[in-house]
Each structure stands twice: as C-alpha cells, then as structure tokens.
Amino acid sequence: MKLGIIGCGAIGSDVAKAAETIDEIEKIYLFDIDKKAEQNLCKIIKIAEIKPVLDYLDKIDVVFEAASQQAVREYASSILNAHKDIIIMSVGCLFEDKFRIELEKIAKKKHCKIYLPSGAVCGIDGILSASVDIIDEVTLVTTKSPKSLGKSVNKRTVVFEGSARDAVKMYPRNINVAANLSIAGVGLDKTKVEIVADPVATRISHKILAHGKFGRLRAEVENMPNPNNPESSYMASLSAIATLKRIVNPIQLGA
C-alpha cells in the first residue's frame, strides 16, 4: 500500500513514523504548506518523498489528513473522485452539512471510504453500536484549565451548556471531539456538550455519558499532551495510527 500524508506536524509525523514500520506500506508521499516541516519529516522517513497532493493521487491508495479544515475542503473531493480513501483528522469541517453530504455522495459513487479516527476520546465504538437502535441522550463533558478556555475562575465552573453545533461556534478547539461523537450518535443538534473550566485540571479530560435502549454508557479519558506539541493530545495520534493499521489488518475489530 502507498500512503499520502497532508500535514507534517505532530500528528502527521507520528503517523508517518508508524507507517514506515508497517510491512504493508511501501511508500509515503508527504505534503505540507510549511515546506520546512515536510522537508524535516522527509529526512527521517526513509520511504518518504515530497510531492504535491494532486500530483500523487494516481500513485497512492489512502490519504491521511492532519493539516486543517481548509485542507479537507481543498483536497477531499479530489481524493475521493480519484477513487482513493481518505482518513480525516480535521473532522470539524463535517459540521457543514452541505459539505459532509457532498463527500458522502462522492464516496458512494466512487466506492471509496472516509475514515474518521476517534481522536482524543474513548467510547465512540459504544455510541456507534448503540445508534443502531434508539439512543435517548448523549452528553460530552470536556474539562480544561481556565487558561486554555480563555477564562479566569478560581473554582470549577461550567462555562458552556448546549448543543454540539453551538459549542463549536463558541469553543472551536473542542470541535473534533464533538464532531466525532455527533456523527457516531444522535447528530450535531441533539448531542449535548458541557464545557468546564477547572483551576486544578492538569490534563484535558473528555467524558461521554449516554443512555438508551442499549443501557447506559460512561467513558472518560484524561489525555496526555503529544510530546511534540502540547496543544495536541497524544491519544489523537494513537487513534490515527490505529485507524491506519485497521485498514491494512485482515482482522477488523470494533463497531
């Protein structure tokens, strides 16, 4: 398999390094608007080559995006129209209903897949399974330090309560987690989000609470920062690598 990567930051670099160790992956093509970033990564990945996205589409099988929502808007349609699968990390762009539906239509027509790694949360598999029947309620509780939320409080304070769609308008850094959960479960407008500023919080935590015909679900993770970028959760990189391994693995685990 040949892999294209858009974005050579912390997550893109983690994925490229892991991909080089996967026997089924024989070639990696790198692209980043930051030329220094792509050059630095290319130096340490022996099977890598720098090439513009549209120039490598006829050479690859899967494209991994870890750049930005803008990158997804710019390249996703072309990737799918080229009959190639795509792994999207910047899931927030799929909050735009028209754009998401357009990508779904292209993928169906071209018989290819759009993979969305679970990212910095745990429990997405349970929500996905539960969504086969009726889910009564899904709530995401995200807890961060006041500073990371632009707040100044001296006690645990709920700074937002509302729908996932409204949450990402006010707190866009929460967008990927809320998008994944919404797509897996009850949608953008029915998924509830609670954002908490906690002065004693040393890690970003995400808690999923849900109930329905399946029973009750509670899943929580406290994320360690990525060693190469404190603004990114290391779990996001691990989730991306796990998705890539799932694509090449004959045994498919999970919902």
Assigned fold of 124-223: Dihydrodipicolinate Reductase; domain 2 (3.30.360)
Q: What is the mean pLDDT of residues 170-184?
A: 85
Residue 228: per-residue pLDDT? 87
Query: How far apart are the C-alpha atoms of 126 and 124, rounded to whole Å?
Result: 5
Per-residue confidence at 48, pLDDT binned at 50, 70, 90? very high
The conformational region for residue 119 under phi > 0 = left, psi -120 to 50 = alpha, else beta, is left
How would you class 60 by CB atoms within 10 Å of its CB: exposed for 0-12, middle for 13-18, buried for 19 or more? buried
Q: Strands 48-50, 215-223: parallel, antiparallel or unpaired by DSSP?
A: unpaired
* Predicted confidence (pLDDT) at residue 92 exceeds the cutoff of 80: yes
Model pLDDT for residues 190-249, shown as the tens digit of each residue: 999 999 999 999 899 999 999 999 999 999 999 998 998 887 889 999 999 999 999 999
Model pLDDT for residues 100-159, shown as the tens digit of each residue: 999 999 999 999 999 999 999 999 999 999 999 999 999 999 999 998 888 999 999 999
Distances (CA, A) of 88 to 1, 156, 158, 180: 18, 33, 30, 11
Q: What is the mean pLDDT of residues 35-46?
A: 98
Residue 5: per-residue pLDDT? 98
- Domain residue limits, the chain: 2-115+234-248, 124-223
Give the number of other Cβ atoms within 10 Å of residue 187's Cβ. 15
| Residues marked as catalytic | 206
* Predicted confidence (pLDDT) at residue 174 exceeds the cutoff of 80: no
Distances (CA, A) of 22 to 17, 38, 132: 9, 20, 33
Q: What is the mean pLDDT of residues 31-53?
A: 98
Q: DSSP letter string over the chain?
A: -EEEEE--SHHHHHHHHHHHT-TT--EEEEE-SSHHHHHHHHHH-TTEEE--HHHHTTT-SEEEE-S-HHHHHHHHHHHHHTT-EEEES-GGGGGSHHHHHHHHHHHHHHT--EE---TT-S-HHHHHHHTTS-EEEEEEEEEE-TGGGT---SS-EEEEEEEHHHHHHH-GGGHHHHHHHHHHTT-TTTSEEEEEE-TT--SEEEEEEEEETTEEEEEEEEEPEETTEEEEEHHHHHHHHHHHHHHH-SS----
Q: What is the mean pLDDT of the chain?
A: 95
Per-residue confidence at 2, pLDDT binned at 50, 70, 90? very high
For residues 61-89, b (16+ Cβ closer than 10 Å) or e, as one string? Answer: bbbbbbbbbebbeebbbebbebebbbbbb
Residue 170: per-residue pLDDT? 84
Assigned fold of 2-115+234-248: Rossmann fold (3.40.50)
* Predicted confidence (pLDDT) at residue 61 exceeds the cutoff of 90: yes
Backbone angles phi, psi at 180, to 5 degrees: -60, -45
Residue 90: per-residue pLDDT? 93
Question: Distance between alpha carbon 175 and the CA centroid of its chain, in Å?
Answer: 10
Residue 230: per-residue pLDDT? 80
Model pLDDT for residues 62-82, shown as the tens digit of each residue: 999 999 999 999 999 999 999
